[in-house]
Structure 1
Amino acid sequence: MTAQFPEPSPRPVPPGGLRASHDDREAVVDRLRDAAAEGRIDVDELESRLELALTARTHGELASLTDDLPTPHSSPATSSSLVSRSPLVLKGGMLGASRGPGRWEVPGHVIAHGGVGGVNLDFTRTECRLTEVVVEAYGETSGVTVVIPDGWVADTGGIDPGLGGLTDRTTFDRLPGTPLIRLTGSGGMGGVVVRHPNKRERRKLDAP
């Protein structure tokens, strides 16, 4: 008679060892952006934590990124409202940074630091229902370029040109229902450029 042994029970997953989902990562990303908007962490630390959040594999790895932040007590409706007001922060760093030209959700406030690699911010394929978007652009070493669709207008009165200057190649023919892009910040050494799509970009937009 063959002896029968009980099947081994699965080992319990240690605390924090559960695998994180895309929604788990996005929730931490939103919380980090809120913390930056509130002045709890600076831009450099935000960028570092966002990179770790997007590559985190477990709940424990995600928890370590927010352990020193206060626990939110808002309702889901209030939380969504805070996320919608959280700024999108782009930092050029060494390799540059960009948002667009694909479809992406436009917040009411964007902060772009050109750094050494530069920043490109392209609104041409976005569907923005906001009446106004504030783009806080700092050209720094390599500059910031903002591309807006035809029919959108930019208010550049809040930009300090700095040494790099401000280049505005947009028209003033605003279509109904389009947002106003209000630029603030400074040109720095690299300058700030705001324009409509160029010929090459228009060909890509017209392609099926």
Structure 2
Amino acid sequence: MAIEPGRRPLRASDADREEVVEQLREAAAEGRLDMEELDERLGLALSAKTVDQLPPLVEDLIPAEAIAGAGEPLVIKGGMHGQTRAGEWKVPPRIVAQGGMGGVKLDFTRTVVRHKVVEVEADGGAGCVVLVVPEGWGVDLDGVHGGIGGAWNKTKGERLPGTPLLRVTGSGGMGGVYVRNPGRLQRRKLRRALEQ
């Protein structure tokens, strides 16, 4: 993670550290780390003060197929009329959402995510960027500059084990960046879809 000149590194949260600890334990179970390496890296992960100290601990443990899938980000532009991505769609590890005039809405409620962290670079523009996530997902908006529209996390509850972390960076612009859980009507539609 590159730190811009004059900008201090972001402090690591317990969730950030725990995510790396989980990756290290998985790597040891798969035989990619011996017990001595595991102990050393666990100690470094648990004592990490900033998020930039964490990636080097797992960089050499990422499987080749994950690196191949982490190439170009999915770019969604709101333009004049807006864009929505909903239903069943494949979530890549990196997304760029540019609100433009019409805004962008990304609905993750019916997706299957194979990544522990999904990085979203959001620019609210004059519209806005709305991210709808299932309850229990982790959300990190610390990397978003609010701008005029602000950055709002309206999700409920804490992150559940095994769920993805949505790490959002960028700017709220004029329209803002909003992360929320599905509303009552949307939850009802989801239940009906699952019953069929």
**Superposed pair shares fold, TM > 0.5:** yes
For residues 43-64 of structure 1, give each alpha carbon's deviation from its aligned partner in whole angstroms, at most 9, with x where no partner exists.
xxxxxxxxxxxxxxxxxxxxxx
CA contact under 8 A between 1:85 and 1:107: conserved in structure 2?
no
| 1:83 CA displacement | 4.2
Does residue 91 of structure 1 match 2:77?
A: yes
TM-score normalised to structure 2 length = 0.63
Task: For structure 1, list consecutive stretches of 5 or more residues without a partner in the other structure.
Answer: 1-77
CA contact under 8 A between 2:140 and 2:166: conserved in structure 1?
yes
CA contact under 8 A between 2:135 and 2:157: conserved in structure 1?
no
- CA gap 1:93/1:179 in 2 versus in 1, 3 angstroms: same
CA contact under 8 A between 1:164 and 1:189: conserved in structure 2?
yes
Give SS of 2:127's match.
coil
If you compute each CA radius of gyration, which structure gives the higher value, 1 or 2?
A: 1
Q: 2-side partners of 1:80 and 1:169: how far apart? A: 30
CA contact under 8 A between 2:118 and 2:166: conserved in structure 1?
yes
Does residue 167 of structure 1 match 2:152?
A: yes
User: Structure 1 counterpart of 2:142, which letter?
Assistant: G
- Residue number in structure 2 paired with 1:149: 134
Q: How many equivalent residue pairs?
A: 131
User: Structure 2 counterpart of 1:104, which letter?
Assistant: W
Identity of aligned residues (%): 51
- Structure 2 residue corresponding to 1:132, chosen from 117, 122, 125: 117
Does residue 112 of structure 1 match 2:97?
A: yes
Does residue 122 of structure 1 match 2:82?
A: no
For residues 37-95 of structure 1, give each alpha carbon's deviation from its aligned partner in whole angstroms, at most 9, with x where no partner exists.
xxxxxxxxxxxxxxxxxxxxxxxxxxxxxxxxxxxxxxxxx798534432010000011
Task: For structure 2, list consecutive stretches of 5 or more residues without a partner in the other structure.
Answer: 1-63
- CA gap 1:180/1:79 in 2 versus in 1, 3 angstroms: closer
Report the RMSD for the aligned CA atoms in angstroms. Answer: 1.8
- Structure 2 residue corresponding to 1:184, chosen from 158, 161, 169: 169
TM-score normalised to structure 1 length = 0.59
| 1:202 CA displacement | 0.8
